[in-house]
Structure 1
Amino acid sequence: MNFTLHQLKVFLKICEKESITKASEELHLTQPAVSIQLKNLQDQFPIPLTEVVGRRLYITDFGKEIATVADRILNEVDAINYKMLSYGGQLAGRLKISVVSTGKYVMPYFLSAFMRENPGVDLVMDVTNKSRVVESLEQNEVDFALVSVLPAHLDLETVDLMSNILYLVGNPNYFDEVRVDNKTGQISTPLIFREEGSATRAAMENYLTQFGIEVGKRVELTSNEAVKQAVLAGLGCSIMPLIGIKNELLKGDLQIFDMKNLPITTMWNVVWLRAKKHSPVALAFLDFLENEKSQIIGRDFKWLKSYVQK
């Protein structure tokens, strides 16, 4: 056997994505380079690691077993590197965070300075849907998660990060205004919703229910980015977090429509299991948030103030 750590790393990414194309994108390598690494690793085993069925790549049972061992090997290599850095006086280790999809507009601002100050720290940030974020907490797979609605069934510790402000927005090229009919209570435009389980969806439906607003035509999409593109295209309007549409508002591609009892304001929370035993890296990140949070909000998110009604 003469496999390399690089081959194992590439193979793990292929197993994770079940796609050479997606693995190459994640690793910032060309597809041929990833294919060569897979072939070089495969040549050392008489049993297939992968198979292609109907143009789709599958990991064989043997490949899954090799991936499990490869993951352990790479984790041990990381541990050696972290120990070396720690003996040199550097903070070293891995910080793992799970973030709901809209949180990708928030969390990087609270990580960038911390990562620059601690080059021995490796960051793993999974941007996904709320269900997967909650699952990662339940399975103790991450140090922290970023959510705007706390999962009620989990015993969590929390840090309030910053406000999440939601307004009704639309493309002014398609909609001059959005009204609610006083007789029927029905809103005058199609409304675009996130999928069931989304915190944005919950906030939107709570608002409509609380104030007796009926929806005529509904459209449901499964990501904040998909909702934004649909609103830009004039498919309808939506109640959206301002944090994800800064550029579109500044360029005039999207417009806030005045509606009674808006905006909705929730809170972004960094959360973790109460029983979690934090690593030195995780504890250092909590200290960083406590000391730097206000400065980061004041510097990077001051633009939000101009959209908040006094």
Structure 2
Amino acid sequence: MEINAIYFVYRVLSMAYSNAEGLIRHVTLRQLQIFEAVVRLGGYTRAGEALHLTQPTVSMQIKKLSEALGLPLIEQVGRRIHPTAAGRDVYMVAQEVLGKMVELGDTATEFKSVVKGDLRIAAVTTAQYFMPYLLGTFIGQHPRVVPRLMVTNR
């Protein structure tokens, strides 16, 4: 997350609390996800359907988020809902936070699927004749692995 985005998150969310620590205990990623879906899809029912939640659950989570922030986030005009000015800002932050969570998941998946790191091998002197070939093949398949071969007599 860029420094400007972090400052913006802090500025928006700290309106209700003297420090961000209080918010971290009260605002959940799930609430941000629900709020983002409500604004993006234009309604509680549609957001609930997309997230496999009931409409009352969606409404309750939006209310809790609004209370935690101390800001009205959604206004209802007739049957239509619209984000307030604060709601639009929180929506932008929610999109960024959720996007970063996707990036985090992608990074974790990459770390799990890519073989990398140090590979330490100790081998007897006769291995010095065939081990470079084996290591070359292995490193060709896994270029992020750094081999360390120690040849020794028993």
- Structure in which a larger fraction of residues adopt strand: 1
Corresponding residue number in structure 2 for 1:33: 57
> Are positions 1:78 and 2:69 aligned together?
no
1:24 is matched by which residue type in structure 2? G
SS at match of 2:75: strand
Kept after mapping to 2: 8 A contact 1:18/1:59: no
> Are positions 1:43 and 2:67 aligned together?
yes
Deviation track 1:202-248 (CA, whole Å, cap 9, x = no partner) reads: xxxxxxxxxxxxxxxxxxxxxxxxxxxxxxxxxxxxxxxxxxxxxxx
The one of 47, 56, 63 equivalent to 2:80 is 56
Q: Could you state the TM-score of these two structures normalised by the residue count of structure 2?
A: 0.56
Q: Could you state the TM-score of these two structures normalised by the residue count of structure 1?
A: 0.28
Partners of 1:51 and 1:5 lie apart in 2 by 22
Partners of 1:54 and 1:80 lie apart in 2 by 39
Query: Offset of 1:71 from its aligned partner?
Result: 0.9
Query: Offset of 1:55 from its aligned partner?
Result: 2.4
Corresponding residue number in structure 2 for 1:13: 37
Deviation track 1:124-155 (CA, whole Å, cap 9, x = no partner) reads: xxxxxxxxxxxxxxxxxxxxxxxxxxxxxxxx
Partners of 2:70 and 2:54 lie apart in 1 by 26
Corresponding residue number in structure 2 for 1:65: 89
Query: Offset of 1:46 from its aligned partner?
Result: 2.5
SS at match of 1:8: helix
Matched ranges for 1:1-310 at <5 A: 1=23, 2-89=26-113
SS at match of 1:48: coil
SS at match of 2:113: coil
Query: Offset of 1:79 from its aligned partner?
Result: 0.9
Partners of 2:30 and 2:51 lie apart in 1 by 11
SS at match of 1:82: helix
SS at match of 1:25: helix
Query: Offset of 1:11 from its aligned partner?
Result: 0.3
Kept after mapping to 2: 8 A contact 1:14/1:20: yes
Partners of 2:82 and 2:35 lie apart in 1 by 12
Give unpaired runs (5+ residues) of structure 2.
Answer: 1-22, 115-154
Partners of 2:79 and 2:109 lie apart in 1 by 44
Deviation track 1:173-216 (CA, whole Å, cap 9, x = no partner) reads: xxxxxxxxxxxxxxxxxxxxxxxxxxxxxxxxxxxxxxxxxxxx
Partners of 2:41 and 2:108 lie apart in 1 by 31
Corresponding residue number in structure 2 for 1:280: none
2:66 is matched by which residue type in structure 1? Q
Partners of 1:46 and 1:3 lie apart in 2 by 11
SS at match of 2:68: coil
Deviation track 1:19-47 (CA, whole Å, cap 9, x = no partner) reads: 10111111111111111111110111232
Query: Offset of 1:51 from its aligned partner?
Result: 0.6
Flag the structure with larger Rg: 2
2:48 is matched by which residue type in structure 1? S
Corresponding residue number in structure 1 for 2:6: none
Corresponding residue number in structure 1 for 2:20: none
2:73 is matched by which residue type in structure 1? L
